[in-house]
Amino acid sequence: MKVAQSAEFLLAVECCARSFAPPPAAAPAVDLDEVEWPRFLRLVRFHRIEGLAWNALATISDLPDAARAELPDAASAIAVRNLQGAAECRRLLALFEAAKIPLLFLKGLTLGALAYGKPAIKSAIDIDLLIDPGDLGQAAEILRQDGYRVAFPPRDDAIQAWHRRCKESDWLKAEPRLQLDLHTRTADNPALIPVITVHAPRQAVALGDELSLPTLATDELFAYLAVHGAASAWFRLKWISDFAALLHREPPRELDRLYRRSQELGAGRAAGQALLLADALFGSLQSCPALRDRLISDRTARLLFRAALDQVTGEPIEPTKHLFGTMTIHWTQFLLLRGLGYKWSELTGQAVRALKWF
């Protein structure tokens, strides 16, 4: 599937691809003379791929001054945040291990290392921790004692009630300035990937010589990332780039197995949506035509894919910043699993989260 898009968007996609699948040619395939650089930089900022862009473009001798001025500074800021994040992850791991609370790190540094081999180039806004729901009270107390405060839900005494309805609470730390998302499940709707918990199969990811962090094993990570991207209808290029980068590490025969395993884990149509989107942007299914054809034959999967493609290739505006901007995110959630029971639980869940009943 070919994507007819602007030179700026195509260059952004190529920068992502060059960060996990460097081509033989040194120069980008996109004609740089056709690129409107202010728009390209706006796209890069919105999609949070400044580190990937600079990683891909740093050696281009005729890069315009505006890009050469902005991108290295942004990439350096990302690298600094990731160093701070790594130090904080080390501390958090020690605190939770001392308290004998199992935890996994989701996305962030572990995903950057797995996807790109360079965790420093992937932008990460927060630290995502997954714990068992039964450990929520103790984990919250550890965070409070370590200098974190609850940002959402707005009332500290509402955390238990909030987590019964939603997958995560948001925590902030003033010094160093950090954001942490504390997860007690991996999807807001408990019908999606219900078996992917903190007790699911895991892998250890090395971040340098002295730090190794636990995250989901490959099968579970594939399903989780598909559901995570679908939860926002894939409006940010960074998310599908991470997903495609993981696919790039796998031999073609594994992709069909990963898809079938994601269905056993409860990812539903989110996995097909993710694969079709990765294929459209990065050619991820070029060696798997049978799987591509099978996914395309599902009318609902095609609908979800087109919705996601429209989101990620649309104007770089936060969905919450314009009228009905989150509508696609909301309606696509109803199609991820079959059955009226799932749709009813999704309707009630969205109402709870929108009205903040907790």
The pLDDT of residue 288 is: 95
Neighbours of 353 (CB within 10 A): 14
Q: pLDDT tens digits for 187-227?
A: 999 999 999 999 999 999 999 878 999 999 999 999 999 99
Higher pLDDT, 200 or 253: 200
- Residues facing residue 148 across a β-bridge: 173
Residue 71 has pLDDT above 80, yes or no: yes
CA angle 195-306-245, nearest 5°?
55
The pLDDT of residue 330 is: 93
pTM (2 decimals)?
A: 0.94
Nearest CA to 54 among 37, 74, 34, 40? 74
The pLDDT of residue 283 is: 95
Asked if CATH classification 2.40.30.10 holds for the domain at 7-355, the reply, yes or no, is no
CB 28 within 8 A of CB 60: yes
Percent of the chain whose pLDDT exceeds 90: 77
The pLDDT of residue 348 is: 86
Q: pLDDT tens digits for 91-132?
A: 999 999 999 999 999 999 999 999 999 888 998 878 999 999
Percent of the chain whose pLDDT exceeds 70: 96
Reported residue count of the chain is 358
240-263 burial, b at 16+ Cβ within 10 Å, e below that, comes to bbbbbbbbbeeeeebbeebbebbe
Residue 260 has pLDDT above 80, yes or no: yes
The pLDDT of residue 155 is: 79
Q: pLDDT tens digits for 307-328?
A: 999 999 999 999 888 877 899 9
- Cα(165)–Cα(146) distance, rounded to whole angstroms? 26
Q: How confident is the model at residue 56 (pLDDT cuts 50, 70, 90)?
A: very high
87-99 burial, b at 16+ Cβ within 10 Å, e below that, comes to ebbeebbebbeee
CB 258 within 8 A of CB 222: yes
Q: What is the mean pLDDT of residues 273-282?
A: 97
Residue type at 249? R
The pLDDT of residue 351 is: 81
Q: How confident is the model at residue 357 (pLDDT cuts 50, 70, 90)?
A: very low
Q: Domain locations in the chain?
A: 7-355
Q: How confident is the model at residue 28 (pLDDT cuts 50, 70, 90)?
A: confident
Q: How confident is the model at residue 1 (pLDDT cuts 50, 70, 90)?
A: low
The pLDDT of residue 3 is: 62
Q: pLDDT tens digits for 135-163?
A: 999 999 999 999 999 998 877 778 998 89
Token pair 């770089």 is at which residue? 316
Mean of all residue pLDDT scores within the chain: 92
The pLDDT of residue 358 is: 45
Nearest CA to 284 among 321, 317, 245? 245
